[in-house]
């Protein structure tokens, strides 16, 4: 059951991912565009990062989701777009769902409704998320932007508690957006985006956005990974259980990976045990990174402009692979030590400046 009339529309995500991950998923190359540079813009500081082989990619979101729906159909799934689940209850044999006048009985139920977690909430297994990332984005013509890479901009003027972005799309357009944290900020991302577009800031960043072709908006949980994915024969996946990496709210690839693993488990002869095994493996592989990444997300949400500038400067000392690791929330002490072997000078400067700033904060 899929609430939208069409797969991949409306677009609620920016479509950023990593080349190695979309390759591992087997997505056709025509569905994404790789970018080799990232410009980080703080309130006054700028840094440019050049990625090596581990590049970010920007997906054609609608085409990607339609491709995935096609794979599901080819594998024998029957898809029902235009069907919104409005209520779910338990019955002696399983579950009963209401779909706007149609009633469906089922033995298993999977909640993939995103941040709304409609089914898990209706069944009383999970409350509404208490913390969310909210974003607004425009896709516009590109009138010749000077910077042909990805751009992240940070600081209180345009992105209090969050960050802004500009990505070149596979169709040669520009995707420009702003995301904030709730309840950390009550500002409106769409109002900020409108002001940003009307200001001189895009031109100062080398962007030349033209006519707006589409407006996107979305919400992603920002409160950490759920403790469980299965409650009896009710299962959650994707944003419904917080599977987006919280540092920058990156959940497309994780949701696809988890959805595939969960689907395989549900097809096993002992689905309960297989789902529990899948969850154990998934948590073992991800829980620590997610916890660290959530802590980072909370820190970023309260950073002063001065600290943003300092961080932008420091990130400029790192090599591309280190920045990729950092953005995925994977940069712990062990990774820093490993990276020291690939860019010792940068890491030493990074560590020295970190020590200086820690000393500065001591009472
Ligand atoms: C502004 C913004 C930008 C983002 N950018 C990125 C990015 O660049 N890269 C990245 O990896 N992640 C990004 N994310 C996060 C990413 O979009 C999510 O983590 C990911 O889409 C989660 O996938 P999902 O399938 O769990 O949920 P969703 O993609 O939200 O899909 C849920 C689906 O369920 C349907 N649905 C909802 N309610 C019902 C119902 N009652 N009955 C039936 N169907 C229902 C919806 O219509 C929707 O199609 C972004 C999020 C936001 C908000």
Cα 311 to ligand 1 centre (Å): 29
Cα 146 to ligand 1 centre (Å): 31
Nearest protein CA to atom 50 of ligand 1, as residue = 13
- What are the Cα distances from residue 181, in Å, to 131, 159, 221, 227? 7, 10, 9, 22
- The answer to whether the CB of 244 is under 6 A from ligand 1 is yes
- The answer to whether the CB of 14 is under 6 A from ligand 1 is yes
> Nearest-CA neighbor of 109 among 174, 121, 269?
121
Cα 206 to ligand 1 centre (Å): 30
**For residue 41, what are the β-bridge partners?**
46, 153
Which ligand 1 atom is the nearest neighbour of the CA of 134? 53
Cα 162 to ligand 1 centre (Å): 18
Cα 277 to ligand 1 centre (Å): 25
Nearest protein CA to atom 2 of ligand 1, as residue = 13
- The answer to whether the CB of 252 is under 6 A from ligand 1 is yes
Cα 346 to ligand 1 centre (Å): 36
User: What pLDDT is recorded for position 341?
Assistant: 47
Nearest protein CA to atom 10 of ligand 1, as residue = 250
Nearest protein CA to atom 31 of ligand 1, as residue = 114
Cα 239 to ligand 1 centre (Å): 7
Tell me the Ramachandran region of residue 114: left when phi exceeds 0, alpha when psi lies from -120 to 50, beta otherwise. left
User: What pLDDT is recorded for position 362?
Assistant: 44
Q: Report the 10 Å Cβ neighbour count for 6.
A: 13
- The answer to whether the CB of 13 is under 6 A from ligand 1 is yes
- The answer to whether the CB of 112 is under 6 A from ligand 1 is yes
User: What pLDDT is recorded for position 208?
Assistant: 96
Nearest protein CA to atom 39 of ligand 1, as residue = 113
Lookup: tokens for 119: 């089914």
- What are the Cα distances from residue 36, in Å, to 182, 299, 303, 315? 32, 28, 27, 16
- What are the Cα distances from residue 267, in Å, to 44, 111, 113, 263, 270? 54, 17, 21, 6, 8
- The answer to whether the CB of 215 is under 6 A from ligand 1 is no
- What are the Cα distances from residue 2, in Å, to 8, 78, 149? 11, 11, 34
Q: Which of 252, 293, 294, 329 to mutate to test the pocket of ligand 1 (most atoms within 8 A of CB)?
A: 252
- The answer to whether the CB of 111 is under 6 A from ligand 1 is no
- The answer to whether the CB of 84 is under 6 A from ligand 1 is yes
- The answer to whether the CB of 291 is under 6 A from ligand 1 is no
- What are the Cα distances from residue 203, in Å, to 198, 209, 263, 307? 10, 9, 46, 24
Nearest protein CA to atom 3 of ligand 1, as residue = 13
- Contact 250/328 with Cβ under 8 angstroms? yes
For tokens 């990174």, the residue is: 289
Q: Which residues of 206-245 are buried (b: 16+ CB within 10 A; e: fewer)?
A: bbebeeeeeebebbbbbebbbeebbbebbbbbbbbbbbbb
- Contact 65/22 with Cβ under 8 angstroms? no
- Contact 279/262 with Cβ under 8 angstroms? no
The one-digit pLDDT tens for each residue of the chain (363 residues) are 899 999 999 999 999 999 999 999 999 999 999 999 999 999 999 999 999 888 999 999 999 999 999 999 999 999 999 999 999 999 999 999 999 888 999 999 999 999 999 999 999 999 999 999 999 999 999 999 877 799 999 999 999 999 999 999 999 999 999 999 999 999 999 999 999 999 999 999 999 999 999 999 999 999 999 999 999 999 999 999 999 998 999 999 999 999 999 999 999 999 999 999 999 999 999 999 899 999 999 999 999 999 999 999 999 988 888 888 888 877 654 555 455 445 555 555 655 555 554 455 444
- Contact 125/234 with Cβ under 8 angstroms? yes
Q: Report the 10 Å Cβ neighbour count for 46.
A: 15
> Nearest-CA neighbor of 49 among 60, 62, 58, 36?
36
User: What pLDDT is recorded for position 222?
Assistant: 96
């Amino acid at each position: 059951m899929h609430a939208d009339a069409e797969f991949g529309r409306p677009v609620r995500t920016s479509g950023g991912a990593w080349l190695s991950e979309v390759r591992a998923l087997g997505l056709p190359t025509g569905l994404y565009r790789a970018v080799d540079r990232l410009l980080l813009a703080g309130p006054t500081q700028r840094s440019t990062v050049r990625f090596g082989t581990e590049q970010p990619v920007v997906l054609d979101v609608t085409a990607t989701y339609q491709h995935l729906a096609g794979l599901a159909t080819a594998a024998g799934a029957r898809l029902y777009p235009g069907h919104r689940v409005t209520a779910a209850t338990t019955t002696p044999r399983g579950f009963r769902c209401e779909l706007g006048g149609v009633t469906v009985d089922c033995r298993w139920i999977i909640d993939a409704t995103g941040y709304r977690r409609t089914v898990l909430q209706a069944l009383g297994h999970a409350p509404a998320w208490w913390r969310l990332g909210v974003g607004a984005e425009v896709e516009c013509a590109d009138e010749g932007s000077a910077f042909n890479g990805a751009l992240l901009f940070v600081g209180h003027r345009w992105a209090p508690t969050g960050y802004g972005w500009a990505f070149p799309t596979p169709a040669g357009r520009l995707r420009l957006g702003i995301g904030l944290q709730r309840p950390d900020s009550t500002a409106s991302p769409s109002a900020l985006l409108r002001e940003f577009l009307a200001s001189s800031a895009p031109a100062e960043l080398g962007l030349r956005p033209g006519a707006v072709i589409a407006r996107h908006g979305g919400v992603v949980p920002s409160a950490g990974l759920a403790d469980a994915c299965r409650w009896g024969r009710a299962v959650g996946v994707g944003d419904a259980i917080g599977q987006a990496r919280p540092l920058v709210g990156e959940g497309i690839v994780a949701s696809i990976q988890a959805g595939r693993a969960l689907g395989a488990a549900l097809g096993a002869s002992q689905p309960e045990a297989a789902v529990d095994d899948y969850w154990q493996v998934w948590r073992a592989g991800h829980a620590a990174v997610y916890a660290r990444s959530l802590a980072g997300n909370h820190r970023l949400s309260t950073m002063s402009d001065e600290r943003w500038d300092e961080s932008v400067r420091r990130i400029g000392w790192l090599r591309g692979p280190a920045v990729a690791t950092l953005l995925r929330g994977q940069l712990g002490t062990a990774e820093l030590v490993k990276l020291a072997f690939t860019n010792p000078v940068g890491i030493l400067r990074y560590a020295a400046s970190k020590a200086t700033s820690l000393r500065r904060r001591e009472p």
